[in-house]
Chains A and B, each alone.
Chain A
Amino acid sequence: MSIITINDLHKVYDGTQVEVHAVNGVTLNIEEGEFSALVGPSGSGKTTLMNMLGGLDRPTSGQVLINGTDLSQLKDSELIDFRLHHIGFVFQSYNLIPVLTALENVEFIMHLQGVPSAERHARARELLEAVGLGDRLNSRPGQLSGGQQQRVAVARALASKPRYVLADEPTANLDSHSTENLLDIMEELNHKENITFVFSTHDARVVKKAHRVIVLEDGKVISDEVREKVGASNSNE
């Protein structure tokens, strides 16, 4: 069953002079357990598409269905709740809360979900250990490297127990070692817990790890290639 279904999606920005057709008729299915990369040149509409996939922005026309829920049918406040419970987000610039420790950053989203404090504490610790930060629980984002911060962000994205994680250029600010490390972690989570990952990227090394590569240009999908076996063999190494 498709976890995400997109139907003839359009997004038009009213620029000051010209209208920008950032996403121009995209139709896609994302299956449960996919590890997919969205690639394309700068300005091709990756972020715009990801935002609509995550319910952060509303399409000009077309449909986004997640697990059968049509996002356009949700009110703003319902959409926020939907994101909280169903989607994990990882951002390019980490976007952690700078005044909180790694542990608190991961706990915060569970607090929003109303998870009791002891439980969220234990889960946050577990997740940070899983991303290799068991020894940096009480460090604040400013005291962590970019790669470490992004691993905290991955832990945070997973804390809310989403079935689906969206990551817009998660490795753009990372060096190659951190990039590798982060992708391994994400891939392992994908493999072990069957969490669906969709990430956008420019980076050829990241593209290489993806099980499916969707290429976007001028707001349109120009190629969509499934390489399930490559991904599977990588995660078995």
Chain B
Amino acid sequence: MIIHVAWKNIWRNPTRSLVVILAMVVGMFAGIFMVSFAKGMMKERLNRGIETEVSHIQIHHPKFREADELKYQINDVFQKTKDIEKIEGVNGVSPRIVVQAMVASAETGSGVKLIGTNPDREKTVSNLYTYIKKGKWFEGISRNPVVIGQKLAEKLNVHVRSKIVLTFQDDEGNITSGAFRIAGIYQTVNTSFDETHVYVRFKDLDQLAALPQGAAQEIAVHLSSQKYLNQVKNKLSDMYPNLEVLTWKKLNPEFGYINDVYDYYLYVFIIIILLALGFGIVNTILMAILERVKELGMLMAIGMKKGRVFRMIMWESVMMSIIGGTIGVGIGLLVTIWTNHTGISFDSYKTGFEALGYGTTVHPIIDWGITINVMILVFVTGIVAAIYPALKALKLNPAEALRTE
């Protein structure tokens, strides 16, 4: 019955309560949608990062990533590839030769990461081949084919079938170079990736780099599902205690950052919204209490204990927050589902988004963990906001309160 009275009390001044509820609706809608939007953007970025750029797991010599020199190698990569393929959850393995190189066209040059890989194996760990815009993925050129990104092609002013020269330091420390002909040009949405990643065949680079038989710098491992990530990683660490086994979270610090730290920012954002709304609720409840000092005095006079008066006021606040919060979150979720289907296009900001590696169409996604926590926070806001006004009500002396008009 206390809840019943609290509910009716909310509607004594419907306009005032509705304004608070509406503020809550708008605030929570904005909060939830903003979270979904950011999550959608992040997920897309992560997915592309994994599927196109780094794959799930990479194995290196422990010093390779830091020093980035050809001499930090993995031996017997072909045997290892076979062994890794047998692990449950692994659905693609590709050994790669990786070396820092200079690429030069007739006009200009540029520093790139040169990757030597088996074109067919590479398809099992990366979907980069699906981003080929011109030419083909290592087809059509029989001798020394190379695949480069659109951005680099523009910079070098080269086209399919153009010749480029790749220069780097080989395993023995000699500067070596080779002429390659462009078989395909890919274009992902990450322009900085496109500008710096050049792919050639494993066997061609192997020769140029003068590497020992079966040596490479990197083994990329692709999984059938994220759920195997830690399991496979641990297994690989056990199998190759002298090598460094890293998941995508560590391989690209930006990804780990996106994944973990971003949530924290979203909460900060939501808490700021709730804080502002909380003050609105404090004010409303306080006004509502000042208006019924006499009635509260009467309730205490006839025998309503302070705890009950306190709870009644709490309920008024909590119910307003929950109504506003639920409607706001509900609309937020609906709009998320809707825009998840249609996608939100930012074509006018294409260059900015792409330079940062983000797609221009965002598909917001619902994060249930955050949504549930937001609902809890809404509830807590309702409670916290009512404490001060409710305590004020408790200070009333029934005899004095009854004398007021």
Contacts and interface: CB of A to CB of B under 8 A. Distances in A.
A81 B1 contact: no
Interface in A81-118: 81, 83-85, 89, 91, 93, 95, 97-100, 104, 107-109, 111-113
Given A56-B398, A95-B295, A99-B12, 16 more contacts: A51-B399, A77-B305, A83-B301, A83-B302, A83-B303, A84-B303, A95-B298, A95-B402, A97-B299, A99-B11, A107-B1, A108-B1, A109-B302, A109-B303, A111-B1, A112-B308
Contacts of A47: 403
A80 B1 contact: no
Contacts of A93: 294
Given A56-B402, A98-B295, A160 B303 contact: yes
A56 B399 contact: yes
15 contacts: A54-B301, A57-B397, A76-B306, A83-B303, A89-B298, A89-B302, A95-B294, A95-B295, A98-B12, A98-B295, A104-B1, A108-B5, A112-B308, A157-B302, A160-B302
Contacts of B305: 77, 80-81, 112
A29 to B, nearest CB: 23
Interface in B1-55: 1-2, 4-5, 8-9, 11-12
B308 A56 contact: no
Contacts of A81: 303, 305
B392 to A, nearest CB: 17
Given A57-B397, A99-B5, A99-B8, A112 B303 contact: yes
9 closest cross-chain pairs (CB), A and B: A84-B303, A99-B8, A57-B399, A95-B298, A111-B1, A56-B399, A51-B399, A83-B303, A56-B398
Contact of B301 (A56, A85, A108, A160): A56
Contacts, number: 69
B307 to A, nearest CB: 8
A98 B1 CA distance: 15
Contacts of A98: 12, 295
B12 A80 contact: no
A220 interface: no
A81 B295 CA distance: 18
A33 to B, nearest CB: 22
B391 interface: no
A76 B11 CA distance: 31
A84 B302 contact: yes
A156 interface: yes
B395 to A, nearest CB: 12
B334 interface: no
Nearest to A156: B302
Contacts of A91: 298, 301, 402
A47 to B, nearest CB: 7
